[in-house]
Amino acid sequence: MLTLATEVEVLARFGRALADPIRCRLLLALREAPAHPSDLADELGISRTRLSNHLACLRDCGLVVTVPVGRRTRYELADPRLGHALDDLRTAVVAVETDRTCPDAAEKGCC
């Protein structure tokens, strides 16, 4: 049974997906065009096993879907609007204060 996620759940899923650089690269690649896992692994320069784990995460988050093509499976964004959202996020200006007040910033790489 298909259920609708709340707005907060949708944002949390999107945030989880974007929390990893490989998943970000996967989403950006799929923003360009649907692709087969072997092609994505080659494009990203990662093993198919590692790619499979990240694709599973993106599927679980509801951001990508599989489309059977003969004996192969192609991946694509679950909704074309996700491509627009990625473009908006990618081009957004993020203001970061240069005066770091967090005492652990240098050590932890945060803030």
Please, is 70 exposed, middle or buried when counting C-beta atoms within 10 Å of its C-beta (0-12, 13-18, 19+)? exposed
Task: Tell me the two tokens of residue 93.
Answer: 């200006």
Q: What is the pLDDT along the chain (111 residues), one digit of tens a residue?
A: 556 678 888 888 888 899 999 999 999 999 999 999 999 999 999 999 999 999 999 999 889 999 999 999 999 999 999 999 998 888 776 655 555 566 666 676 665
Phi, psi of 97 (to 5 degrees): -70, 130
According to DSSP, the residues that pair with 74 across neighbouring strands are 67
Task: Tell me the two tokens of residue 46.
Answer: 């990662």
In the Cβ-directed half-sphere of 83, how many Cα atoms lie within 13 Å? 11
Task: Tell me the two tokens of residue 107.
Answer: 């050590």
Contacts of 78 by beta carbon, 8 Å cutoff, 6+ apart: 62, 63, 64, 65
